[in-house]
Amino acid sequence: MNQAASTGDKLILAAIDLIAEQGYDGTTTKEIAAAAGVSEVTLFRHFGSKQSLLVAAFERYHYAGEMTKLFNERLTWDVRTDLLLIGRTYHAIMNRNRKLLAIAQKGGSRLPEEVHKHASQHPVQLKKLLTNYFSTLHEQGKIAPIDPEITAMSFMWMNLGAFSSNLLESSNSDVTLDTFIEQSVDLFARALAP
Amino acid sequence: MNQAASTGDKLILAAIDLIAEQGYDGTTTKEIAAAAGVSEVTLFRHFGSKQSLLVAAFERYHYAGEMTKLFNERLTWDVRTDLLLIGRTYHAIMNRNRKLLAIAQKGGSRLPEEVHKHASQHPVQLKKLLTNYFSTLHEQGKIAPIDPEITAMSFMWMNLGAFSSNLLESSNSDVTLDTFIEQSVDLFARALAP
DNA sequence: TGCTTTTGTAAGTACTTACTTACATTTTAT
DNA sequence: ATAAAATGTAAGTAAGTACTTACAAAAGCA
């Protein structure tokens, strides 16, 4: 079943782990090769350069299609239910891409541009989807007439802040992430009640 | 009036600018010295090492006392008024410390620990202050019985997300920061209404 | 003016790092 | 078994970088 990872994959995974922790400039090709359990020459034989290795990592492991699919297929038009699903999905996606996002955030002097392009797609798209969602809810008379764009930004940024914060210090408090999502959705549902 | 900046200050300011943009590892002492308009040796004569220079930068320009002072002296116990003031002050502080925060966020292989200590003080403190505030409001019967800690985290993280997002791409949309603060405070005030 | 402090220039050291080359060894496929 | 492909070892190159040393120029102060 679980066939051994290929040399290329081992290198990509090691690169993601190390660069996410130490930054692009702070991680050497020798370290990456050692962590992957291969020699440094093998790294260059496979990817040619440190930059191409990182680009390959992003192309292989960065995906963002779930949100659009969710908005097209799984909405119930009940505020509480939908926001809960959106919030949970948001954190699931972000968490899965956590390391790649950390890499983009930290930057680096010779860090390839592809990295930033990949990382900046999410928020723009989500804001549009959420704004449309709140607009429609208002047209349906299900929520009070509050600016849909502001509402979308508030919800999005609240979850981005929660995510960034948990990223840094996981043992921040005794409130678990899921409790926070549930309760904050409640808060929004109250605010939007017609 | 505006007496010329000392050599040490010129170096500190140049270091903050460059390292915030390029990261610690990605910025050379030669660059910093050139940006400050002095020679590289002068940098080492003043600070001894690249690390000490950064530590000096944090000690000189990182301050966080305003929030505590605000909570002790300027609260009116009207939700809308207070949250507006808190939100605005939060962004003012974060914005002033924007570059230092970016430095801490990006990290670096030899980046001194002091940097992280300085940067992690804000949020913990603010959460406590806000949680106490909402607890007291509830005791005064001015808001509905919603978990004060969750409310505090929601408000804090919403503003953190807004700040981080504006940090990355300033021309994000046509909603200005101040409009966002006002409207999001409205949203919270609605949610908390008894 | 003379003395001290600060700064610049020039050169260099010691170390790291991305990347290369040449050759021997192992693994895989047929 | 044998050829081909993938990997390891060893050594090295070229460039960058934090930091040092020695000496001369300049600026401030007595």
| Minimum-distance CB partner of B23 among A107, A149, A160 | A107
Q: What is the pLDDT of residues A29-39, one digit of tens each?
A: 999 999 999 99
Strand D, CB < 7 A, residues 93-122 of B = none
B127/A contact by beta carbon, under 8 A: yes
Instruction: Report pLDDT for A58.
Output: 92
Burial per residue of A139-166, b for 16 or more beta-carbon CB atoms within 10 angstroms, e otherwise: eeeebeebbbbbbbbbbbbbbbbbbbbb
Predicted local confidence at residue B3, as pLDDT: 46
Find the nucleotide nearest B39 (Cα to C1′): C8
Token pair listed for B73: 């002296």
Residue B90's identity, in one-letter code, is Y
Exposed/middle/buried for residue B134 (C-beta within 10 Å: 0-12, 13-18, 19+): buried
In this prediction, residue A122 carries a pLDDT of 81
Per-residue pLDDT tens digits for A49-89: 999 999 999 998 877 788 999 999 999 999 999 999 999 99
User: Residue A129: which residues within 8 A CB-CB, separation 6 or more?
Assistant: A67, A68, A71
User: What are the two backbone dihedrals, phi and then psi, of residue A89, each rounded to the nearest 5 degrees?
Assistant: -65, -40
User: SS3 of A61, please?
Assistant: helix
Q: What is the mean pLDDT of residues B106-129?
A: 88
| Cβ–Cβ below 8 Å for A184 and B150 | yes
> Quick check: A15 pLDDT over 60?
yes
Q: Among B20-24, B104-108, B131-135, name the one with the lowest average pLDDT.
A: B104-108
pLDDT tens-digit map of B67-114:
999 999 999 999 999 999 999 999 998 988 899 999 999 988 899 999
Residue B11, CB half-sphere, CA atoms under 13 Å: how many? Answer: 26
B31 CA from C24 C1′ (Å):
45
Instruction: Quote the Cα angle for B6-B50-B2, to 5°.
Output: 15
pTM: 0.86
B191 vs A contacts (CB less than 8 Å): 187-188, 190-191
| Protein CA at A17 to nucleotide C1' at C15, angstroms | 26
- What residues of chain B, 7 to 46, have a C-beta less than 8 Å from chain A? 22-23, 25-26
Nucleotides of C under 7 A from a protein CB: 6-11, 16-22
Q: Render A95-148 in DSSP notation, one character per residue.
A: HHTHHHHHHHHH--TT--HHHHHHHTHHHHHHHHHHHHHHHHHHHTT-S----H
Say how far apart CA B56 and CA B77 lie, in whole Å.
39
Q: Which nucleotide is nearest to A110 (CA to C1')?
A: C18
Indicate whether B29 pLDDT > 50: yes
- The band of A163, judged by pLDDT with boundaries at 50, 70 and 90, is very high
State residue B61's pLDDT score: 85
